[in-house]
Structure 1
Amino acid sequence: MLLPALWAGLLICIATIATPAAFAMAPGEAGRIVGRIFAQEAVVSMALALVVTAIERKLAPDRQVGVWLALGALFCTVAGYYALQPLMVAARAGQGTLSFGQLHAISLGLFALKGVLVGALAWRAAAPAAGIRPSSS
């Protein structure tokens, strides 16, 4: 299954190319640009998490590791973007108990955890394609 590898590639590109490029090229607008990138990534990640979960359930109903990895990535997306984003907006306005920096650190941690979970999904999906087959003796 190629979807986890594509998903991992998306996350890596956002973390290593898109976000740094936005801050390098448009420092004053970078927050808005990156915010838009993460809004689109959240929608894509939710869709991919649901599709990968369904495929994993169908392919290996007796082994649910892939399902849990995909659901963990879904949780990281919902918590990291949809739950924290409104709190970050409020923190910028001086409201809430946590600072913007603290919320940003939590969000970054959830994005990194999602990357690890999706990377594990991609690694598991690549194992059969790498020529690992039972011996024919």
Structure 2
Amino acid sequence: MQAATPWCWKPAGDAGVRRSRYRSTPTLMGCWLLTFPENTQGILRSELNYSAILQWVASIEPEPALRWTFNGHPRGIGERLIIQRLSLEDLGIYVCLAENSQGMYFSQPVTIMLPRNSAFALIVAAPVVLVGSTVFTIIWKLRCG
């Protein structure tokens, strides 16, 4: 029996705002994920404390078991991954793995990042730095995005 060709979602245009359904053969390039908010070229930008949703939308027969990875580590199972109250620890690369008796398929990676114009700034303090007999506190201001 020949493996069914999966249906995938493909971004339309550079903006990636609209998506169109197309038939593709499984490749090492993988299928696109449907995301909310929308991703552009694999980048999903969202503010902290908002939710993000990633969904596998390829149709593969027989139905595959779906697993999610985050920065290469297991993150969840099922066709949809919902990240509630996005935190700094949730920023990174997500991939969905689909496996059935016909083989293993991978989604295109989606990287969740803060918006470029985010007003968020992380202040990290190293409270003790000894220079001679004076104690200094060093503060770094990191801008994410």
Normalising by structure 2, report the TM-score: 0.27
User: Which of the pair is proportionally richer in strand?
Assistant: 2
For CA contacts below 8 A with separation 6 or more, give which structure has more relative contact order. Answer: 1
- Bigger radius of gyration among the two: 2
Normalising by structure 1, report the TM-score: 0.28
